[in-house]
Amino acid sequence: MESRKVQTVGNGTYTVSLPKEWAESQGVSSGDTVTLHDHIDGVLAVQTGNGDGVDPPVARIESADPEVIERALWAAYAAGAREVTLERDEPLTPDQRRVVERVARNRVGMSVAAESETATTAQIMLDSTEVSVSQSLRQLAFTVRSIHRDAVEALAAPPDASPIGSRDGQVDRLASMIDRSVSRGMTDLDEVDALGTTRPELFESWTAMRELCRFRDAAADIGDAAAALDRPPSAARLATCRDVGRAVREVVSDGVSVALGDEGADVARSAVGELRRTRDELDALDRQLDGAAEGAVELRRAARGLRRTAECGGDVAEIGLRRAVRCRETIRDREPSRTNE
């Protein structure tokens, strides 16, 4: 990075000279035209050429392995590709075609556009102007909290299987759309403007998304532990699990609200304080389970899942504090004000 002095010309226009090394490396000479992009996050970018944005990549897959094909399709979507083609020298197998169809169904804006005997092409028609990263993050937080709530409640009446159901796929769809939006925003500043956000906000949303996915995974462990119980835990232990679960979900909700600018730093600060109480409750539950026998193994597993979700909740709250620091807010204590779900 280097600094340049702003000067004025006769009609009052401000001018800044271009670095000679950069101009020569880009083939820019006197009399050429460059394009200026004024972005909402305060960045003024200079672009050579016709001024168009960075074209999304077009991906090709030539593997025969269905697992490689699936992961390559996920990667192409996340990388911001607008088109992905699977092509082989020999006819595609039904398994290979099913992989493409399954991934397309589980990614927002992705569909199979063309098929032949040896190839199939999927297109991603996702308009950034119609995507709201902040709303997607709110919806993701709501979904993982509902998964967590049902997983904890399953301890009271152990089900035959994990209570998560199809919401797991919804989490993946929302998370992958946020991942794609952030990836596109990192490679093309025009995408940042189209999304109506800034690069720091995008990164904070991406970080929160990753923590919410970890929260979902830990909640799934609680649900699996509940399904493995022969009978519900005692009323006191169940009450502890419910109380911790409610507190953790509230911390996640508050952390996301602060990270998105819906709430101030004091809300994130209170969330961090609430986590300290939940850890104390979990420590007490662990001590009780140390001397227990029947059903203790699966209940310990549920307690570990609760502790992991509490850690994820703390990480989400920390993202909210990070935004508060970036926005120059003062982080101070306040009287906690919690509401029941």
Task: Give the list of residues 6+ apart from residue 278 with CB closer than 8 angstroms, or none.
Answer: 244, 247, 248, 251, 310
Residue 187 has a CB neighbour count (10 Å cut-off) of 13
Report the C-alpha gap between 338 and 49 in whole angstroms: 55
Residue 54 in this model has a pLDDT that exceeds 70: no
Residue 77 in this model has a pLDDT that exceeds 90: yes
Report the C-alpha gap between 323 and 327 in whole angstroms: 6
Is the alpha carbon torsion for 250, 254, 257, 259 positive or negative?
Answer: negative
pLDDT of residue 340: 46
Topology of 58-124 in CATH? Translation Initiation Factor IF3 (3.30.110)
**In a 10 Å sphere around its CB, with 0-12 CB exposed, 13-18 middle and 19+ buried, how is residue 88 labelled?**
middle
Report the C-alpha gap between 52 and 54 in whole angstroms: 7
Instruction: Give the CATH number of domain 129-326.
Output: 1.20.58.220
User: What is the DSSP secondary structure assignment for residue 108, as one 8-state letter?
Assistant: T
pLDDT of residue 33: 87
What is the pTM assigned to this prediction? 0.83
- E strands in 222-288: none
Q: Name the token pair of 203.
A: 């990164």
Residues 107-134 have pLDDT tens digits of 999 999 999 999 999 999 988 888 899 9
Report the C-alpha gap between 37 and 31 in whole angstroms: 19
| Average pLDDT for 265-277 | 88
| Average pLDDT for 248-270 | 91
pLDDT of residue 186: 83
Residues 171-219 have pLDDT tens digits of 999 999 999 999 988 887 778 888 888 888 999 999 999 999 999 999 9
